[in-house]
Amino acid sequence: MRKKNCSSSPFLTSGKFYQRIYYRIPDINSFSNLQKLEVLDLSYTMLSGSVSQVLGGLTSIMSLNISNNFFTGGLLEIDAYPNLDVLNISDASNALQILDLSMNHFSGGLIVEGLTNCSTILRQLHVDFNLLFGHLPNALYLMSSLEQLSISFNNFSGQLSKRLSKLFRLKILVVFGNRFSGPLPDVFGNLRELEQFSAHSNNFLGLLPSSLLFCPMLQVLDLRNNSLTGNISPNFTRMPNLTSLIISQVLLY
């Protein structure tokens, strides 16, 4: 989507509020009157309430930053805002490449069905430090363009699916601080570009996946505080780019 030059517009197209605000989101009509508003930055303002209250009536919104607040409720239905290019709730639409929902109080499941139009474009998805729970949805594994997936410090549970192998462009996979259980899927041979895999502080059990040896770009592997068992293959000492191997407090030998 072609970016508009907001500075040349005769209308109010940018609303940035940098002072500390300790109130709840104002009445929805306060924002819905701003029909031409394209850029709204409310980051670090201590706001709370529902995100839908912010977006109500903002039919022209293209860039929204509400990161580092105390928003609650479910995640956004991105498809409802076709003009949105950049969404920082810590970049969004049919051209969405980076979606950061970190450090809020979002709850419920990870709903990504609303992102189907950008499933081959989205490169980064971050939902760290929220109150999300449940199993990871199957639709997540259809986002074949993902390079970074970071979902740490939530309450996700269940097993990591073997469908993880479909995310073959992944470079960073961060899932620590959840309640995942069961064995790690032995599908890392398909993740040839993986540079970081951080899965500590979960309930993973079973063997260390031997397919991790086929991740030639792997630099950081952090699996501490799990219930993994078995042998450590001597081949791990032959991984050329590995700079950090953290497997403390597991039962490997």
Parse the chain into domains and list their residue ranges.
Answer: 31-252
The mean pLDDT of the chain is 78
Alpha-carbon gap, residue 229 to 232, rounded angstroms: 9
Least confident of 41-55, 142-156, 182-196: 41-55
Which one, of 213, 154, 164, lies nearest residue 184 by Cα?
Answer: 164
- 85-102 pLDDT, tens digit per residue, is 666 655 333 456 778 888
pLDDT band at 56 (very low <50, low <70, confident <90, very high): low
Q: Is the pLDDT of residue 64 over 90?
A: no
CATH among 3.90.79.10, 1.10.760.10, 3.90.226.10, 3.80.10.10 for 31-252: 3.80.10.10
Give the pLDDT score at 92.
36
- Name the residue type at position 84: L
Alpha-carbon gap, residue 78 to 11, rounded angstroms: 25
Q: Please indicate whether residue 31 or residue 233 has the higher confidence score (pLDDT).
A: 233
DSSP state of 51: H
Which one, of 62, 56, 60, 63, lies nearest residue 29 by Cα?
Answer: 56
pLDDT band at 182 (very low <50, low <70, confident <90, very high): very high
Which one, of 227, 245, 122, 211, lies nearest residue 179 by Cα?
Answer: 227
Q: Is the pLDDT of residue 156 over 60?
A: yes
